[in-house]
Amino acid sequence: MKDGTVCAIASLKEENVLLNKEDAFQYWSGRDTNINVSFPANLAPVASACLTERRIPGGSPLIELAATDGGGFPRNGLIQKLLPFYRLGYLSLKEIVEKCSVNPAETFGLHQKGNLGIGADADITVLDMKRLDAAMSFAGGKRIMDHGRVTGSGGTFLTTKAGVKTAQEMQLNYQIADTQRSALYGERTAK
């Protein structure tokens, strides 16, 4: 920790902040080592290679999903990280939508997500192609983000059938992931 290899995640006021070196060590040891930490596990060159590698030149992507590594200190902004690959010609907009939305929904059996079909959740992100970032986001038909400013509140807990009882006991708004019809555990649906 003192050499900067591991950062401490400090819960300050209403946000998490990464602390480095001596500050990290002091925070960590002052809380009996009972805190979240962050390792530099996802280096940009590795993520870039994984994101753009093709099965065959000009073919479909080898890795069909893109994700942030949430954990105790979220590193969100997936669209902001992927759109430069579009501008450079490594990914099409269709591939970005598939990596960020369609394929993750299919992988986890969230059939009401990743599409705009009948019965879908109506989650939409509007892109600003000049800034290469998300301009607005809508969830359940309600605006939840406007030019980087969060305008919504609450959320939905995603669970399997095994977690429904706990979600109900905790009075959480939840949706059930259909693992039997997911690409992760069950049968993959045709695109």
179's tokens: 């693992």
Exposed/middle/buried for 87, CB within 10 Å: 0-12, 13-18, 19+?
exposed
Of the candidate ranges 5-14, 142-151, 168-177, 178-187, the one whose mean pLDDT is the lowest: 178-187
* Strand ranges, E, within the chain: 7-12, 15-19, 37-38, 124-128, 133-139, 142-146, 149-150, 157-159, 174-176
Of 82 and 67, the structure prediction assigns the larger pLDDT to 82
pTM of the entire structure?
0.73
Please give the mean pLDDT across all residues of the chain: 85
Instruction: List b or e across 123-152, with b for residues whose CB sees 16 or more CB atoms inside 10 angstroms.
Output: bebebeeeebebbbbbbeeeebbeeeeeee
pLDDT at 186: 64
pLDDT band at 187 (very low <50, low <70, confident <90, very high): low
pLDDT at 120 over 50: yes
pLDDT at 72: 47
pLDDT at 69: 57
pLDDT at 73: 46
